[in-house]
Chain A
Amino acid sequence: MDKKIGVYICSGCDIGDSLDMDALANVATSEYKVPICKNHPMLCGKEGSSIINNDIQKEGVNTVVIAACSPREKMEIFSYDPTVISMERVNLREHVVWCHPPNDEDTQMLAEDYMRMGLVKAQKMEPLEPFSEEINKTILVVGGGITGMTSALEAAKAGSDVILVEKEPELGGWMAKLWKQFPKDPPYLDLQETGIDSKIIEVKSNTKINVYTGAKIEKTEGAPGMFDITISQNGNSEKVKAGAIVEATGWQPYDASKLDHLGFGKYPNVVTNITVEEMASKGKFTKPSDGKEAKSIAFIQCAGSRDSEHLPYCSSYCCLTSLKQAKYIREQNGDAKVYILYKDIRTLAQNEIFYKKIQEDEGIFLTKGDVVGVTEDSEKNMVIDVDNTLLGENIQIKAEMVVLATGMVPAAGIEMKEVAPVETEAPPDEKKEEETPADIIIPSDILNLDYRQGPELPSLMYGFPDSHYICFPYESRRTGIYVAGCGRQPMDSSACTDDAAGAALKAIQCIELTSQGKALHPRAGDMSYPDLYMSRCTQCKRCTEECPFGVYNEDEKGNPLPNPTRCRRCGICMGSCPERIISFKDYSVDIIGSMVKAVEVPDEDEEKPRVIAFLCENDAYPSLDIVGRKRLSYNPYIRVIPLRCLGNVNLVWIADALSKGIDGIILIGCKYGDDYQCHYIKGSELANYRLEKIKETLDRLVLESERVRVLELSIDEYDKLPGIFDDFLETIEEVGPNPYKDF
């Protein structure tokens, strides 16, 4: 269908009073020969928006350019079906009239350039065609402990079909091995049944849940909405289909044999908290050495946890577990003495009430201290040396039995120390010195993904494939696969069941959005997806290596094989491709490159430099909107182009800009490093790395590398932006005009 562009310029909110509106309209009608260009004093009002809707319905306008406020404002009013109408918004308010002097030559030039940039983008955008494929709506849950069973049940209750795979012969996981659980319900004083048996029955009797016990996932192929899973059970392999996956593979206790300094393995009467649960279910707390009842028992907290030599993290459940086990012992034998030696007692929220109750028991002695060693005396009593106690001195405690409160190791991280990060294969001549850190993918034999980047979810820290995000804890590096429970981080069973329901919702949501050809968070609902012009692909593998979400597989020749339903539409692959063959219908290397080229560059003697600012649309761009809202002013020679992610920056844009005579390019993205804020994990970091290489390009063009600057900015650092721009322009003025300007 032929493109018909309508341009709608709002003169409200100081725009009309600050700009020559006729000259602005002239850019559209004369320079760009746009057939329809209208002006309204309040485009976002009923009358204004109906002008646009009318032209769409009656005049056949299928591409709308709205030159008004920031695209972040009035989104619900300027909203059109992207499969029919392409829309571009030109930010005349926040980025032009609110931060530059009115009726000024430079302000007018800025507005006109933004109009040109918007128009050229509109010319090249195409309506979206959502990716459509037969979608399977079944949810695969891996792991049949409390988390996995809860996920399965919650999904089934919302109408989903579920496949539940458990490696052990029985469902239940660690919860089934517990005697009781610590208090979960008011008044938070009494131990409770785990309730696991009834949960197992509920799962088994639910007709929507298909349970495989004694089974494992041999292979996971495909993508969200169309996973092909090979399950092996009793020596047989079976292929099933699923739309999304919940990984609820839980944890293992930290290997106590590594804790010989605490006497484990050396003395029979040093046991773990897991053994205490077995003793409790048998009803007797007996010394392994002689089978006699232990009359005094000492718990050593953080046995292997909060310890740089072992697990650096806190395992979260051990304090409450030891308090609970102390109660087991005291309930069973009122004469028994219990000692609990801790670093900090960590009983959060209402769990504090239970801690308080335990403190009231005179038979339980709690003290803070550092356990330095465990030995045995001549009467086979355990002797524990404790330093820095609350009593202000170093003490020795004698007990007949010692319990080590061992911590949690995630199932996905058990093999962690034995493996190195997966090596990416790059030819020796392309080995870069400033490589972005490779993802750690531990081959833990859980999902066995047939993904080019590795067989499991990338590990975040300590082997937990957890989310890095505070506000988006289900954010996963592998779309459609959600981790829940203790596999994500140490937590108690209440937290596990909450987390299980959350992961189930995300799995259902993934399937619903995927079935409509829509992206998931953070570009939820986006129907664009990358299209590759394969005949120009050189098999350089950058896209397959650099995609943060593992979208691309590879064929044997090294050609990228995209999986659109894994895609989050960040466009980082677009920035990675030296051949520029990766495009979205509404966003491409060509579109942005054309926007760069649409900027009018004044002759050198006019002394009006031009700078392109590529801003991340998620943080730096909103931040610049705040600059407008605060009416702070900054240099008018800046031309801002918002990007889905700074990782989109293709080096050709820099070359295009410089060869056109643009004097400088500044890129502002999110913070990177361990506490990265990039919504696509490593987009800003990749941009930085790629720009390091731009120096070569600049040398080739005989240009100064100061012309390109990459910066990190948090969304709340808006007050810094005017200074950042002004400072960059000062540098550009020092360097002098781009020598390519008059070519």
Chain B
Amino acid sequence: MADTRDSISNGKAILVIGGGISGITTAIEAAETGCKVVLVEKEPFLGGRVTRLNKYYTKLCPPSCGLEINFRRIKKNPNIEYYTLAEVESVSGEEGNYDVVIKVNPRYVNENCTACGKCSEVCTTEISDDFNLGMNKTKAAFIPYNMAFPSRYVISPEIIGTDEAKKCLDACKYNAVDLDMQPETVNVNVGGIVVTTGWQPYDPAKIDNLGFKECENVITNVMMERLASPNGPTEGKILRPSDGKEVENIIFAQCAGSRDENHLPYCSGVCCLASLKQATYVREQYPDSKATIFYIDLRALGRFEEFLTRVESDENVSLIKGKVARVKEDPATKDPVVEVEDTLSGKKIKAQADLVVLATGIVPNTLGGSIPVDITCDDFGFVVSDPAKTGVYAAGCAKRPTGVAQSVQDATGAALKAIQSTLRR
């Protein structure tokens, strides 16, 4: 049968909600297949949580390497229309024909921006650096990080209406600063929708016994990634928060909130490998350091097992089966002290370290029904595939807690599902 379509999707677009690794993958894969894509991201840049990672497991390679390729694919592909600082406000219609209203929040910098940085030079107000999870400050006229895409500055709403903003305006030679920018509404019609809204870390403050609130030197695994990143608050040096001391002795507490009826009953899927990875790069940076991982089960599936074997062979890494029961601070040294029951020996262990990393889990952003799309979620907020709701698909951590490779596989498949929906009406 002859193919009479003028493009793979008959000219219809798909909507991708969320511009993290899953969302950009769905967008690029669909666009390179010939389908138009509208991509909506709430942050001022694309890439999502992976941009905040220092390395990927198990290759220990930087995420910016793959993102560079992906951003180039986006820049070169006219099929992709993307909006940053944007949210989907409403969706109506049915499979093959959805009317979507997108709200784009003001960036106060338009497409004229050349990323020359003059606005930031003159700006003296500092705000909490959201990219670094608030671990440091940044200028109120800023580029989120040094490889951010789009390569365009942002002016924080915090300084709008002040003289600081006016200074930014005056410093820009390219008419890129627009302090009168208002929220805009964009209307698009699409045939299929992919939800790739991703995740956020489980709030460690809710886990009372692990001392996140009380101990300065208890951090989370996502904070650890920022500490170790060359573009992080310490430019890649792993220094403990209380005194900036180089880390010599580090403890990882697995399942911090995960596999726990009081918090997240499910397994977050990535934290074992993430801690094994973090232990590896701490050991590389500080060859005399020691790392201990307290776990319930070590979950390194498939050929990731090889990575576990590699880490196990490092005599300065101890893997101990046991769940951390309590973390307290030694007031004299600010060292966190960890109480664990070693399930194998039955003994109670007390261990002291420079730094404790809580392997906190994954909470889907779809929890609590914050997205105006008709989806079915399980009790934990993950999107469930519902045969009655064709036209809307989820990929990546919106569906279940998982790592980058599986998210990308998933996102590629979701691109096809959404293209199929453009053909049905």
Which residues of chain A have a CB within 8 Å of any CB of chain B?
Answer: 12-14, 41-42, 44-45, 69, 72-76, 79, 137, 154-155, 157-159, 161, 185-188, 208, 306, 312-316, 344-353, 356, 368, 388, 390, 392, 461-462, 464, 466, 468-474, 489-491, 495, 498-506, 508-509, 512-513, 520-522, 524-525, 618-619, 622, 626, 629-630, 670-671, 675, 677, 679, 714-719
Contact = CB atoms under 8 A, between A and B. Distances in A.
For the side of the interface on B, what is the size category?
Answer: 35 or more
Given A344-B299, A368-B321, A718-B230, A509 B29 contact: yes
Nearest to B63: A471
A677 B61 contact: yes
A627 to B, nearest CB: 10
B382 A350 contact: yes
B62 A352 contact: no
Given A524-B76, A677-B61, A716-B231, A473 B405 contact: yes
B379 interface: yes
Contacts of B404: 470-471
A367 to B, nearest CB: 11
Contacts of B5: 159
Given A313-B302, A368-B344, A388-B344, A622 B147 contact: yes
Contact of B269 (A73, A185, A348): A348
Contacts of A76: 75
Given A159-B5, A346-B299, A352-B265, A715 B64 contact: yes
Given A471-B21, A502-B412, A716-B64, A352 B267 contact: yes
A316 B64 contact: no
Contacts of A312: 305-306, 309
B70 A471 contact: yes
Contacts of A462: 303
Contacts of B265: 352-353, 356
Given A314-B301, A352-B267, A716-B64, A470 B405 contact: yes
Given A312-B305, A314-B304, A352-B259, A346 B115 contact: no
A489 B406 CA distance: 11
Contacts of A185: 384
Give the residue among B61, B266, B413 with the most A Cβ atoms within 10 A.
B413
10 contacts: A42-B173, A79-B76, A159-B423, A314-B305, A344-B297, A390-B344, A471-B66, A471-B69, A505-B33, A715-B65
Interface stretch (B93-101, B217-225, B352-360, B414-422): B414-422
The listed residue with most A CB atoms (<10 A of its CB), out of B5, B8, B300, B384, is: B8
A356 B266 CA distance: 9
Contacts of A315: 302
A489 B115 contact: no
Q: Which 7 A-B pairs have the closest CB atoms?
A: A471-B66, A501-B413, A502-B412, A505-B416, A344-B297, A502-B413, A186-B378
Nearest to A468: B59
B269 to A, nearest CB: 5
A45 to B, nearest CB: 6
A630 B235 CA distance: 13
B303 A461 contact: yes
Contacts of A187: 378-379
B66 A44 contact: no
Contact of B68 (A186, A208, A622): A622
B128 interface: no
B90 interface: no
B89 interface: no
Contact of B412 (A469, A506, A524): A506
B344 A392 contact: yes
A367 B32 CA distance: 50
B185 interface: no
B66 A470 contact: yes
A490 B406 CA distance: 12
Contacts of B66: 469-472
B242 interface: no
B164 interface: no
A399 to B, nearest CB: 23
Nearest to A314: B305
A350 B380 contact: yes
Given A466-B303, A629-B115, A715-B68, A474 B412 contact: yes
B187 interface: no
A715 B61 CA distance: 9
Contact of B114 (A44, A75, A155, A677): A44
B301 A154 contact: no
B346 interface: yes
B239 interface: no
B112 A45 contact: yes
Given A346-B297, A470-B404, 17 more contacts: A13-B114, A13-B116, A73-B151, A154-B413, A157-B423, A346-B299, A348-B402, A356-B265, A390-B343, A470-B61, A489-B302, A501-B414, A512-B8, A512-B32, A524-B73, A715-B65, A716-B231
A368 B344 CA distance: 9
A345 B173 CA distance: 61
Nearest to A499: B409
B298 A316 contact: no
Contact of A629 (B146, B266, B268): B146
B409 A474 contact: yes
A505 B151 CA distance: 30
B401 interface: yes
B295 to A, nearest CB: 8
Nearest to A150: B413
Contacts of A509: 29, 32-33
Nearest to B417: A501
A444 to B, nearest CB: 18
Contacts of B64: 715-716
A183 B376 CA distance: 17
Interface string B1-43: 1010100100000000000010000000110111000000000
A350 B3 contact: no
A505 B230 contact: no
A461 B265 CA distance: 34
A703 B396 CA distance: 55
A352 B146 CA distance: 39
A513 B301 contact: no
B301 A464 contact: no
A45 B174 contact: yes
B345 interface: yes
A124 B343 CA distance: 70
Contacts of A392: 344-346
Given A44-B114, A466-B303, A344 B269 contact: no
Interface in B77-135: 77, 112, 114-117
Given A69-B114, A471-B66, A474-B409, A501 B299 contact: no
A618 B69 contact: yes
Interface string B165-186: 0000000011000000000000
Interface in B262-284: 265-269
A313 B32 CA distance: 34
A364 to B, nearest CB: 16
B56 interface: yes
Chain A CB within 10 Å — which of B268, B299, B382, B402 has the most? B299
B300 A314 contact: yes
B410 interface: yes
Nearest to B345: A392
A504 B412 CA distance: 9
B226 interface: no
Nearest to B406: A495
Contact of B379 (A186, A345, A512): A186
Contacts of A504: 413, 416
A342 to B, nearest CB: 8
B65 A714 contact: yes
Quick one: which of A45, A499, A505 has the most chain B CB within 10 A? A505
Interface in B326-368: 343-346
Nearest to A161: B1
B174 A505 contact: no
A313 B304 CA distance: 7
